[in-house]
Amino acid sequence: MVSPDTFRSVIGRFASGVAIITAVDEAGVDHGMTATAFCSVSLIPPLVQVCVDQSTTMHRVLERGSHFVVNLLSSGQEELSRRFGSGETRRGGIAEEERFDGVGYTRGVSGAALLNDALAHIECQVFDRHVAGDHTIVVGEVELATAHDGRPLIYYRGGYTQLER
């Protein structure tokens, strides 16, 4: 068995962009969660996937919800990534219900937050869900996608960085 520490250390060598997944629950409450386990899946139809830890609030929201937005973060949004990625049970974590305080956003067609200054907004309808270990792979069919000018925020080996060129 590969230990969790080894697994993290090895997977951390795979540099990625950073996304914040947003969704509105059945009571109309906003939710957001930082995720790097995101990738595209299919071109026709356009599908993306995100792996969501089953212990998170976002997991509960997407179990029942039909829509979510993937906000791809730009290089200036490290603070936002930390805010939506700390988990309230951890030290320094921000309570889930306070994460949107002071954060600028508009709303997509589903009502989910489109965060200001993101590099791209990908509006999805839930297409499929697959339980995989302690996560669920949530596949989304892309209904709307918008790209904006800017540079990406990069996550590598447990820290944030930026493209050099």
Ligand X SMILES: Cc1cc2nc3c(=O)[nH]c(=O)nc-3n(C[C@H](O)[C@H](O)[C@H](O)COP(=O)(O)O)c2cc1C
Report the interface residues with ligand X, using CB under 6 A. 18, 33-37, 51-53, 56-58, 81, 84-88, 96, 155
Residue with structure tokens 């290089």? 75
E strands within 67-119? Answer: 67-72, 105-107, 113-115
Nearer to ligand X, 11 or 109 (CB): 11
Q: Which residue is nearest to ligand X (CB)?
A: 85
Which residue lies nearer to ligand X by CB, 105 or 155?
155
Alpha-carbon distance of 89 to 145, in angstroms, equals 33
Nearest approach, Cβ of residue 20 and ligand X (Å): 8
Nearest distance in Å: CB 82, ligand X? 6
- In the complex, the smallest distance separating the C-beta of residue 44 from ligand X, rounded to whole angstroms, is 25
Q: What are residue 63's phi and psi, to 5 degrees?
A: -65, -35
Are 79 and 160 within 8 A, CB to CB?
Answer: no
Query: Which residue's CB is nearer to ligand X, number 109 or number 163?
Result: 163
Residue type, 123: E
